[in-house]
Structure formats: C-alpha cells, structure tokens
Structure 1
Amino acid sequence: MEIPGECEYRGEAVVVRPSQPTPRHSLYLSNLDDQRFLRFSIKYLYVFPPLAAVAPETLRWALARALVDYYPLAGRLRPSAEDDGKLVVDCNAEGALFAEAFLPGLTAGDFLRGSAKPHKSWRKLLYRVHATSFVDVPPLVVQVTQLGCGGMVLCTAISHCLCDGIATANFLHAWARAAAHLDLPLVHHDRCALRPRCPPRVAFTHPEYSVSTSTTALPPPPPPHPLLPVSLTFTASHLRRLKTRAPCTSFEALAAHVWRAWVISLAPPPALRVKLLFSVNVRRRLRPELPATYSGNAFVLACAEATAADLVATGGVRLVQEAKGRIDDDYVRSTVDLLEERRGAKPDLAATLVISAWTRLGLEDVDFGKGRAVHMGPLTSEVYCVFLPVLADPDAVTVLVSLPQPAAEAFEHHCCLLHDEPLDKQLQLQGSDHLAVGHRHAHDILA
C-alpha cells in the first residue's frame, strides 16, 4: 500500500535526554554486539487505533524517564580508542531523536486494509537522519505520526549494536510502563560476561561464518524479476500438522518447512549445498546464565546445511534440531573468540536463507496505557525471512519473505504442501492478507 500524501512535521525533531542524571562512561560492546552485519538499525512499526493512541507529549515524557534506565540508547556510538576496529558507546546523555508528524489522509483502518505489501512510501513514517555513516546515527530515533482518525503510528529505529530482539522488547515495555506511571524493572548493561578468552580458543568450525566450498556450477543468472512479497499465516492447526512427521517444536517444524519450500522455489542444482541461519537466544545457555534483562545482543547464529536434494528428500527438521542443539556455553565462547580473531567476519549468505523470529518476544504486547497496537511489524522490506506473531491469535505465526516473481509463486505453492500433500487450502487464501518483507533476487541468493 502506498501511503497518500506527505507527513506534516510539527517543527524539527527534538532531542529527548534522560530526565535524571545518568552514568557517564564508555560502554564496552561485546563481539556479539559489534559484528559488522549488525551495524544497522532495526525499524519497528506499530499502528494504534484511536482508543489506544497516546498524546505525543506523554510519549516524549515517558521516553525521557525510560532513558534514565536505558541510558546507552541516549549515548552515541564511536570507534574504540583502545581496540582498533571495534565500536563503543559513549554514554553522554546526548539523547534520542523524537519527531512528531501528522498524516490526515490515512486512518488506522486504511493501513490495516492495505498492509499486505510494504511500500517504499512507508519510510516517511520514520524521521530521516542525514548522516555520513551508521556510527553518526543516534542509537534511538522515534517518530509519532498522528492519523486523521485519531489513531497513531509509532516507528522506532533502534541500533542493533546495542539491542537484540529481547532487549528491544524489554526497552519498549519499559517505555510503555513509564507512560502508564508504573515502576521500571532493573536492566543490565554490562557486557563483560561476553568478553573473549585470552588467548582466544576457536573450538568449532562455525559453518555460519564459513564460505561454502561447494563446486557445483550454477546456471547463468536469470533476467531480473521484480520482487514479490509472500505472506502466509500458519495457524495452530497448520503447525500441528507440520509436527506430525517428527517430534519437534513449532519453530523447528516451520523453519524446516519454509527452508525446504524456499529451496524448491529457487530450483538450485541438486548437489548445491544450501544453508539455513537462525538466531538462538543464549541467555540461559551460558554458564553462568545472563540475566533476563540483559540489554545487549545475546544470540548466536545456528546453521543447518545440506545439499538441495537431501533437504528436499528429508524435510530438514533434524538438521534444524541439530543446529540448535549445538548452541551451548562452549559454542558461544568459541563464536566470541572467532569474532575476536577475525574482525569483520560476516555470515556466509551464499545459497542461504536467514530467518529472524519475532515471535515470543512480547513485541506485540506493548501497551502505553490505553491498549495494544492493532499492527506490529517491520517498517519496510528486509533482506531476510521474518516470523511474526499474529495479534489476534497467539498460537499462529505469519511468515514474511519476498522473492523474484516466478520463485515467489512457487514458494507459496510449496509452503501450502506438507511433503507434497495439501496442508490446507485456507493457508494459501490467507497469503495476501498480511505484511511481507523483502529478499534479494534468486541469482544473488544462490551465488
């Protein structure tokens, strides 16, 4: 859906600083925080109906209160003076950017009816920061857009170097609690528990960062096709059917199913090795455990790998389970040490599907005192597959991904099959009713 008109800004964006004095120091970022592929802002979009909308001044005041506890988000990223190539957070209370806008030509209902496909015009719902590099962008940027119906759109851009999904959800809930005049829980910013060992000891092969050694020749890239969003909602009934073939969790079953359908839709050579990368929360896998309110990045990437032919034949559930099962304290420490030895290491994305699960984080439960949002999701298209919660059904999951047109149609078809048997006609019919996120062209993915 293309958003009509332009946002009417009520002056320039203002700087919101913590409402009380905060610690002034340089905050160490762990190697899990400071990965090159995390040097971007995650952009969240919430749509609140009129009854749940909150006045911008209330949100601004509550943000100032929340930044007392989450003071690194009011700081600025800068290169480390002691450690070449690393970033640190200068906790200087410089503040978050907060913009107010008005969009009279759009209602919350309009947005919901037209939210099946993201559009580049959605970017106008987030204040644009003109900066020469990612380091120059404030870690937190907010825009509140009041709609003609009395509802509001809340967009936030939060630096991934500072927060993973769980930490982001904790911050948003703290901000919401401040707006409702409730006490805020304690938060832990220190990242020293994830410092590398001295000397570093890389004990695993870490295929998530290894370049594929497959010698299978790829066909010439096809002519470019426009990317089409595919969005499918899997209900609890669908997930139960996916789990009938092997004992597994809903995530394991759905991740394997989507990975298999993705590979079939792109039709790679059967001998090509394909990968699935997905994040695993390690807060409770470390020894000692990290606190639940740890505010940094506490995930590592799990990697499942097989030839395209083997994945299609086996379904992939066991591969997903084995990849997840490898993630323990030893594996996390080895990952941290690998990133110490190989500064600038990035995940291998050749012939790789990346899944980011936003389910079970509580992002959809944010309530600023008047009610929850009617829509929560990414601001615009992204380069990975997203699993999103369904606000009306806590047991359902929406899968969002974009593919070149021929592959998108094939992906939707194969997602609606369970080992070549129809999963549910209803699943395919729901495909156009939800927001989708972007992916790259097939010849870029399988290269």
Structure 2
Amino acid sequence: MAEAAMAKSIEIPDCCYPTEPVLVRPSSSKPRHTLYLSNLDDQKFLRFSIKYLYVYKRSVGVEALTTSLSKVLVEYHPLAGRLRPVGEDGEKFQVDCNGEGALLAEAYVDLTAEEFLQGCGSPNRSWRKLLYRVEAQSFLDVPPLVVQVTHLSCGGMILCTAINHCLSDAIGTAQFLHAWALLTAKPDANLPVNAFHDRCILKPRVPPEIAFSHPEFSSPPAQDSHSGDLFQFLLSQPLVPVSLTFTPSQILHLKKQSVPSIKCTSFEVLASHVWRAWIKSLDPPASLRIKLLFSMNVRGRLKPELPGGYYGNGFVLACAETSVEELVTSNAHHGIKLVQEAKKSVTGEYVRSMIDLLEERRVKPDLSSSLVISSWTKLGLEELDFGGGRPLHMGPLASEIYCVFLPVTGDLHAFTMIMSVPHEIADRFQQYCRRGLDG
C-alpha cells in the first residue's frame, strides 16, 4: 500500500520565470513601528513558514492578485515588514513594520491541473519548484510572506504561499488568505474581520508564575535508556509520505470501537487512531513513555479572551502521555480519553503559565518520543476563491515528519491525513491506519 501512495506523487517540471519576482508593498503606508511578538509567537520551533498549495481550474491575472495583495497588506502590514532580533542575546524577535513588501513571483510550467490532481496524493521534493526560493543568509532575511503564482498549460494555476509562523498560526493565516481572496474577487468589498495585531495581551507576568509541570516541554526520564531513540530513528531513516482519507462512515465506525462508549469529536478519535497506528508500526519498547502533541486554539480559553481577528499565534501544544504498552493493548477508549484530558488541561491559567515558562527558559517541545499533529480543517481553506472558483486541491507544499489533518474538497466531514514516515514502516503504518475502518 505504501508503494501505491508513493506512485500517486507527481514530478513537477522546471518552472519558467519570465520576469524577476517583485516586492508588493501596502497600497497606503502607515507610520513605521515595531511589533512585539509574544512568547507564543517567537518560539524556536516555529521559526519556519507555513506553506500552502492550491490548484485552480482557471488562472487569475497576476495584476489583479498583485493589486489586491497590495490593498490587503494595509490591514495585514506586518507581513510586509521584516523580522529583527531584539535584546542582547538576539534570542527574541520583533517585527519591523517598515512596508518593505511581500515577495510575489510569477511562473509558467508545462503541466495541466488534471495531471497534477492525478498525482497530488503525496508531495515530493520537486513540488518545491512551485514556491520561489529566496536566497537569504538567514531565516530573518526571508520576507514573512512569499507567493508564487504558477500558470498551467491548461489555463489553470497553482498558487503557493509561505507565511512566517512567528507572525501567525493557521487560524491567522487563513484569516489573511480569505481577506486577500475576497479583495481579489470583489475589489470594493469590505473585510468581514479586522486584524488585531497587538500581542501585548500575551506578555508574561511579573514576576513569572509557573504553576504547571508542562509535559509538552519536559524530557523523558533519564533512567529510560530508550528515551530519544524513537525520534532519532525517524530522523536517520529515508522518509516517504503517506496520505490517507478517512470518510465520515469510517470515522463513525472508529468511534463505535470505543468500549465503553465515549462521546468524542472526529479529531479526537482520529488523533488517537493515528497515534496508535504510528506507535504500532514503529514497535518501540513496551515500557517507553510516549507523547501525542497537538495544536490547540486557546483564543477563547484565556481571560480575557483574545480579541476577535487576533492575528498572532493563539495556540499551544496540548500533550497526551502514556506508555507504549498501555496505548497498543487498550481499545480506542484509552487513546480518546487521553486526548480529551489533554484538551481539558489547557486552561487560561495553563497558557499563562506556559508563557511565563518561555520567558524564563527558551525551551522547545519534547520530540524525543512524540507524534505531533496539526489540524488544518475548519479553516475554510478548501473554499478559497480568488474569483476563478474554489480550488480543485489544497494541501501542504511538502510532507513533513509531523502529521497534518486536511479538509476534503466537497465533503465537510471527511479528513485527509498526510505525514512522512520511515520507508521501512510505511506499509505497516498504512495497514494499522486502515484497521477498524470498516465493519
């Protein structure tokens, strides 16, 4: 089955760039200022760009996209600025909102939308050609927003966007993309949501109050000689992408396998199911402590709540933890309950404690024996319409070692999972993922 998934990937031909990329500046300038980034924004593990890819049946003119981007960058002006280090050690970042501009590249490729769709199940390295590579000495020198519009030979287009994760999470990214699409399709429209950029509401307390243990950051017990081996094994092996779609009926069937029965969401049951399949396929020692880390929106959990339109990182990693033996020998109930308890533990006070912890120590999530899941569902990205219709496909530009849940075009209740796993376990992982899906 892994071979079938890999066979669905398509090699992208070289792109032709008729002109040099341009810097798109806000259409009206605001006074130059610096933007404080919260401790949730400039965590070290977020120093990368969220890269989305959309395939459209019809192209939208680059002139129209550029004009609307210039207009929307007035509201989302940090994306036209540049990250800068601050402080003596340079460990913390801020945004210099200087209007320097987002980078937009236009390209052409000898490929049809249908050809891409036939092989879009698994991204490969050649897909990176669909996003302009910025030659920069460091992460700080790359514009926070990079866009490539690639015209297809059939008259369609592929739109790729890279948005710096330090500036926003998936919710904020979707908020910006919907605003840009709206102003492209309807230039005179009013934006339904105003962006709220001030992150001072998430400043650490003085003095700090670290009231929780925060297992998402804590390392495994030193006495466990196998701790760290699992993730190191993943890093050392050739990885292949695995992509599976779970239909609503399959998700319902998974829920019914919980004994005793438990009320749960589709995310909760799928997160538990994929975590279990991943661990079973890796077959680590039974005594090893393992974690599931998953992104969780905390905008409504803080007191006061984050303002509407908050354009920053308003998520934390929730942490479920157990032993290999407990996870693989129990039925679905055990894993689902762990996910639910992890979600419940993320209170407003927990988030405040995490912010204070990050102020004292620049800790990173414990990835030694962890699976990380990020959900891109319920963001409406499968409906992103720039005036030429909704996308035929949306997904990540690359398959990563962490797991992503994606929406399925045309089915609000289905999920597509994509992640990269070691080549030698790809078959087993898919088999375990497919177990229990049908009656």
Fold conserved between structures, TM > 0.5: yes
Deviations 1:107-143, CA, capped at 9 Å, x for gaps: 1110000112212111111111011111111100011
What's the CA shift for 1:401?
1.6
**Alignment partner, residue 274 of structure 2:** 258
**Alignment partner, residue 320 of structure 2:** 304
**Alignment partner, residue 79 of structure 2:** 73
Please tell me whether the aligned partners of residues 43 and 378 of structure 1 are also in contact (alpha carbons under 8 angstroms).
Answer: yes
Equivalent position amino acid for 2:342 in 1: A
Which runs of structure 2 are paired with 1:223-242 in the superposition (5 Å)?
226-242=238-254
Which of 43, 50, 54 in structure 1 is aligned with 2:51? 43
- Determine whether 1:342 maps to 2:361: yes
**Alignment partner, residue 424 of structure 1:** 438
Give the match's secondary structure for 1:287: coil
What's the RMSD between the two structures over aligned residues? 1.7
Aligned partners of 2:383, 2:31: CA distance in 1, in Å? 30
What's the CA shift for 1:332?
0.5
What's the CA shift for 1:410?
1.1
Please tell me whether the aligned partners of residues 401 and 421 of structure 2 are also in contact (alpha carbons under 8 angstroms).
Answer: no
Aligned partners of 1:5, 1:313: CA distance in 2, in Å? 47
Give the match's secondary structure for 1:8: coil
TM-score (structure 2 length as normaliser): 0.92
Please tell me whether the aligned partners of residues 216 and 269 of structure 1 are also in contact (alpha carbons under 8 angstroms).
Answer: no
Give the match's secondary structure for 1:319: helix
Equivalent position amino acid for 1:424 in 2: D
- Determine whether 1:291 maps to 2:307: yes
**Alignment partner, residue 206 of structure 1:** 214
Please tell me whether the aligned partners of residues 174 and 379 of structure 2 are also in contact (alpha carbons under 8 angstroms).
Answer: yes
- Determine whether 1:404 maps to 2:422: yes
4+ residue segments displaced more than 6 Å: 219-224
Please tell me whether the aligned partners of residues 296 and 318 of structure 2 are also in contact (alpha carbons under 8 angstroms).
Answer: yes
Q: Provide structure 2 residue ranges, at least 5 long, that are not aligned to the other structure.
A: 1-8
Which runs of structure 2 are paired with 1:4-403 in the superposition (5 Å)?
4-50=12-58, 53-81=59-87, 84-103=90-109, 105-179=110-184, 180-181=186-187, 182-184=189-191, 185-213=193-221, 215-218=223-226, 226-244=238-256, 245=258, 246-314=262-330, 315=332, 316-343=335-362, 345-403=363-421
Please tell me whether the aligned partners of residues 10 and 120 of structure 2 are also in contact (alpha carbons under 8 angstroms).
Answer: no
What's the CA shift for 1:83?
7.9
% identity of equivalent residues:
59
The alpha-carbon distance between structure 1 residues 160 and 193, as it changes in their structure 2 partners (threshold 3 A), is same
Please tell me whether the aligned partners of residues 47 and 166 of structure 2 are also in contact (alpha carbons under 8 angstroms).
Answer: yes
Deviations 1:360-412, CA, capped at 9 Å, x for gaps: 11222211122111111111122200100001211100111221233211111
Equivalent position amino acid for 1:300 in 2: V
Count of aligned residue pairs for this structure pair:
417
Equivalent position amino acid for 2:336 in 1: V
What's the CA shift for 1:2?
4.0
The alpha-carbon distance between structure 1 residues 196 and 416, as it changes in their structure 2 partners (threshold 3 A), is same
Aligned partners of 1:231, 1:40: CA distance in 2, in Å? 23
Equivalent position amino acid for 1:328 in 2: T
Please tell me whether the aligned partners of residues 388 and 399 of structure 1 are also in contact (alpha carbons under 8 angstroms).
Answer: yes
Please tell me whether the aligned partners of residues 48 and 374 of structure 1 are also in contact (alpha carbons under 8 angstroms).
Answer: yes
What's the CA shift for 1:84?
4.7
Q: Provide structure 1 residue ranges, at least 5 long, that are not aligned to the other structure.
A: 426-447
What's the CA shift for 1:106?
0.1
Give the match's secondary structure for 2:322: strand
Moved more, 169-178 or 17-26: 17-26
Aligned partners of 2:12, 2:312: CA distance in 1, in Å? 37
Equivalent position amino acid for 2:196 in 1: H
Please tell me whether the aligned partners of residues 70 and 171 of structure 1 are also in contact (alpha carbons under 8 angstroms).
Answer: yes
Give the match's secondary structure for 1:9: coil
What's the CA shift for 1:4?
4.5
